[in-house]
Amino acid sequence: MSQEAIAPQHVRADLQRIAGWIEPGSRVLDLGCADGTLLAYLQKQKNVVGTGVELDDAQVIAAVRRGVRVIQQNLEQGLALFDDQHFDTVVLSRTLQSMHNTEHILREMARVARFGIVSFPNFGYWPHGWSILRGRMPVTGEMPYQWFNTPNIHLCTLKDFESLAASLQLQITHLATFNGNKEVKLLPGWRSTLAVYRFESPNHTKAPSSAQ
């Protein structure tokens, strides 16, 4: 099995931020891991014990070539094959908005790991509102699809997600927002195209992690 090295400069800024929230040597589950870029990077840089879940055949093959352990499964079927708190962190990157049962996958993430990390397109990005005022659904870099062929079925703003997290008793510990590869600090609800949240499971009672 070959293992393709991934240099930090070849990893997206949002994935580098996610990596910064993960403890060295910890157990990580990446849901919708695609070609395994994040887990391969974490295995190399932080010596994590990683497992990916991916459905697409080509992506599974690409991840395996990077030395990533992958389980081929549809996320809509849930995470029943994993025991409670089996992982330290579970990641769902740029996939939450395409899940049919959003609450269920978030509950499952909180069940199988102490920490969850999710990222999704920010529907509150101001050009989206301008596009709707003009009578058209927005099409942007983070949401490049037309209304009739988009896989994004549950779009939300930062406040929408925070409200859902609170209703599920998920304690948000970190937030980072991006516009392309640039992190957005000022007015993120309006100026960012991508939001990345880290939350702690209500099922875990240990002291908070020191990840920054």
Structure tokens at 76: 């809509």
Q: Alpha carbon of 102 to those of 4, 25, 126: distances in Å? A: 33, 29, 24
**pTM higher than 0.95:** no
DSSP structure class, residue 171: E
Boundaries of every domain in the chain: 8-200
Q: What is the mean pLDDT of each run of 10 residues along the chain (212 residues)?
A: 55 94 98 96 97 96 97 91 96 94 96 97 86 78 74 88 98 97 96 97 63 52
User: What gap in Å lies between CA 207 and CA 177, rounded to an integer?
Assistant: 26
Contact 121, 97 (CB under 8 A): yes
How high is the pLDDT of residue 1? 41
8-200 classified as CATH 3.40.640.10: no
How high is the pLDDT of residue 208? 45
Rounded to a whole number of angstroms, the CA Rg of the chain reads 17
Strand 27-31 and strand 87-93: the pairing is parallel
User: What gap in Å lies between CA 35 and CA 6, rounded to an integer?
Assistant: 12
